[in-house]
Structure 1
Amino acid sequence: MHSKIVIVGGGAGGLELACKLGRKMPGAVMLVDSRLSHIWKPSLHEVAAGTLDVHQEGLSYQMLAHDNGFTFAYGPMLALDHVQRTITIGAITVGDERNEVVLPERQVGFDSLVIAVGSTSNYFGVQGAAEHTISLNATEDAERFRLTLLKLLTLASLQKEHNVQAGVDVVIIGGGATGVELAAELREASGVYATYGFGQLKAERDIRITLLEGAPRILAPLPEKVSSAALDLLHQRAVTVVTNTRVTAIAADSVTAGDIVYPAQLVVWAAGIKAPDFLKELGLPTVKSGALDVDQHLQVKGFPGIYAMGDCAACIGPDGKAVPPRAQAAHQQADYLLDTFLRQRDNKPPQAKPYEYKDYGSLVSFGQTTSVGSLMGSLKGLSWFVEGFVARLMYVSLHLLHHKAVLGTVRTGVLALARFLIKRSTPLVKLH
């Protein structure tokens, strides 16, 4: 197999690039991913809390490929031969005792390659973190959290008759956007769960949520006003927030931070990310964090025709600052590479202007119906703080803009209406 442009990774940036480029260059683009469907990563905390059904939210890569003019190859990237300009895609097997091979290992040739494989959890050597925590890196992680929570709620409800202290202790490690949004979403969902068959449990009393953060405040990269507003909203929702604390060990039923041991039946790790380890084995230059070292045009240094974008790319902007691992950066990089490849198609000179990250602000969700604390946009050094209903609309619009990029305006509108109607006739949380 050979494709003019191969994109590895169907996350926010990689999928948007594949869809936009496929519509402009039908048949010239191939998307490679180890999963069959796509979900917008910032919404994984909703999947974990059960307020979003991944089976309704997920978009099939094969469907998107058909509709947008690119081809889809199912499987993980295993190796790169930059001399022969080929990548190796791993075999797909059926997960039973026979381990039957459904798709064999394959090689795909390319003229240009874009690596957009995102990030994975960085445990910083904390004892027990990898074994006893769940990280919301993918849909299967969020689903594992949700099903474990349902099991724990069921057990706590059964034990309540004999033990008034029975409940569920959830510890979230990391006070960034993922940790804060999960804590808020989980508190809102816990009240709903209590009305759907867990009537013996009182949400704020029996579903105990603790958020641990090593920095002096949560949402440390954002302005202090946003951090303070978020802290107030979490306190209103009976979430225990502990800052200036370092987790030193994690066991099956507890989290140790300094001299304090927190009981924990369910632990989420949201304290840091790193590039996938396999990138170091590709023969391409990487930085200390393991991310691919790219120039200001998103090309891997020393390897013409090989690009990287999103969380797995270490890009330094014209201002000398590293581009942050955020969804809006991946979106902007997709548009930049789209222009790069269209220029190549039309035999135009390469872009003279380097990629420059533009920070349009940050939004933090605090549930399906409640307010959202946010920092919205910056213009010539100015910034605005928004919250409540207006901020909630802005947050929802980000998801819709992503859908518009991969589905188009009409289908996005129809899908949004359909999901609104479905929510009117189904439980507020997924119960199975």
Structure 2
Amino acid sequence: MKSETESATKRPHVVIVGAGFGGLACAQALGNTEIDVTVIDRRNHNLFQPLLYQVATAALSPADISEPIRRTLGRYENIHVVMAEVVSVDAPARTVILKDGGSILFDRLVLATGSTYNYFGHQDWQQHAPGLKSVHEARDIRHRLLLAFEKAERSTDEAEKRNLLTSVVIGGGPTGVEMAGAISELGRFMIAQDFRRLHPDQLTVLLIEAGPRILSTFPETLSRYASDYLAGIGVDIRLNTPVEDITAEGVQAGGTFLPASCIVWGAGVKASPAAEWLGIEPGAGGRLPVAPDLSVTGTAGIYALGDTALAVGKDRNPLPALAQVAKQQGIFLGRALKANLLFGKPIPTFHFRNRGNTAVIGRNAAIFDFGSWQIKGRLAWLLWALVHVYLLVNFEKRLLVSIQWIWRYSTRQRGARVIDETAVAATVPATEAKDRAAS
């Protein structure tokens, strides 16, 4: 029995918006078939976001965790890649509208556009407290961190020096915990080894959480282990401390102003504007409500994956915004669409298989929650490393990251401590800059 789409004179056309974990997995499952596939993304690269914090703290470079989409999908002759930004979807006309005025027709549409950070109505805070969703943001944070150390080294004012050596991480979820631990370990090692006028005791890393504990989605025993470890490496955790304002000078939280040179936002995410494109009411977190087969509720032939989709598990709770969820959904939907479009088979129900939830806290310290049992410490840290290397897009990236991690573990060195020359110029006093220009 042939599907309705197949009965047309042309080959069926699947359009996938977004080349993250879910979008790429879906495209690869449809690769080298009798289905035309178009992948649209506003970036030309796939980005392994779980390791962006290591770019921000100079452990890895952006190229280590990024891969051109065309390179990943180039071996599939039926897949066409378009670098463009989607601004709307005309569902009745089966058309995706692009920002540059172009449009692309589809028979099936897959929305895998991910999420952005939620500043809860204070979008102006983003310029002072970038999140970790792009290479640009990770570089920006790295720039602020490294530049602050350079300025502190030259400062003769103790109060200014301490402010420069203060970082504030907002949000006690996995991103915030990973970032706070990485900043503390980076700063203390650099100060001890490479800076002559600074002392490790001058470094301050604050982790601010509005709720009663960090890592609230993990069991309390793992949350307590993470808190104790972070405290042991010098991270000051402030619980029940909502943020009231963020400026270029610092953070107003819990009625207290905290001066800081580097502020990182990790306090919450919201889905991309896919619901707005379709003109439907979004669910929690701005995500698209989907049926068990991942089709968007109230539409025909439109599907959503990963952070974009409000899918529920066996317990009827929303599936978390994790890489493993998006990847499993992408593989499932790609295979299901192939069977549907080529052989007329109905799309079955998606079932998520939980591989465990994890967060790294620092050197030799991580946590893993498998539901009925948990692990923590060095073993969890090794398992975290193996899982993240496996999830990288190809063998080359896995090898490069593994070698760098082994080297960094052995030497404690951070190889990506590069500040752009325009930032270096900003650290030079005006009188000295004039002398250099005249010489």
Correspondence list, 1:20-419, <5 A: 20-22=29-31, 24-25=32-33, 28-69=36-77, 70-91=79-100, 105-126=101-122, 129-159=125-155, 161-163=156-158, 166-167=161-162, 168-194=165-191, 197-203=194-200, 205-277=201-273, 279-352=275-348, 354-367=349-362, 370-378=363-371, 382-388=372-378, 390-403=379-392, 406-407=393-394, 411=396, 414-415=399-400, 419=404
Quickly say closer, same or farther: Cα 1:265–1:64, change in 2 above 3 A.
same
Letter in 1 for 2:236: T
Match of 2:18 in 1: 9
Give distance in 1, aligned partners of 2:176 and 2:353. Answer: 24
- Residues 241, 349 of structure 1: CA spacing in aligned structure 2 closer, same or farther, 3 A cutoff? same
The one-character-per-residue Cα deviations of 1:322-365 (angstroms, maximum 9, x if unpaired) are 1121222112211221231121144142244x223333322211
Q: Distance in 2 between matches of 1:417 and 1:119?
A: 28
CA RMSD between the two structures:
2.7
Identity of aligned pairs, percent? 29
Q: What SS does the corresponding residue of 2:185 show, helix, strand or coil?
A: helix
Q: Which has the higher contact order (CA 8 A, sep 6+)?
A: 2
Q: Secondary structure at the match of 1:175?
A: coil
Structure 2 counterpart of 1:383, one-letter code: W
Say whether 1:428 aligns with 2:414: yes
For residues 314 and 210 of structure 2, the distance between their equivalents in structure 1, rounded to whole angstroms, comes to 30
Q: Residue by residue, what CA displacement relative to the aligned partner does 1:127-161 show, whole Å, maximum 9, x if unpaired?
A: 853342111121111111111212211111110x4
- CA distance in 1 between counterparts of 2:202 and 2:237 reads 17
Q: Give the Å deviation of 1:277.
A: 3.5
CA displacement 1:74-97 (0-9 Å, x = unmatched): 021112111221112234xxxxxx
Deviation at residue 68 of structure 1 after TM alignment: 4.2
Separation in 1 of the partners of 2:278 and 2:251?
Answer: 36
Contact 1:8-1:115 within 8 A present in 2 as well: yes
Please give the secondary structure, in 1, of the residue aligned with 2:285.
coil
Q: SS of the residue aligned with 1:154?
A: helix
Q: For the residues of structure 2 that align with 1:58 and 1:127, how far apart are their CA atoms?
A: 27
Q: Secondary structure at the match of 1:51?
A: coil
Aligned residues: 405
**Aligned mates of 1:27, 1:303 — CA distance in 2:** 21
Amino acid at match of 2:90: D
Q: Offset at 1:276?
A: 2.2
**Structure 2: distance between partners of 1:418 and 1:360:** 25
Contact kept, 8 Å, 2:275 with 2:281, in 1: the verdict is no
Which letter maps to 1:176? G
Structure 1 match to 2:428 = none
TM-score normalized by the length of structure 2 = 0.84
Unaligned runs of 5+ in 1: 92-104
Match of 1:94 in 2: none
Residues 363, 376 of structure 1: 8 Å contact kept: yes
Q: 1:385 and 1:303 mapped to 2: Cα distance? A: 42
Amino acid at match of 1:316: V
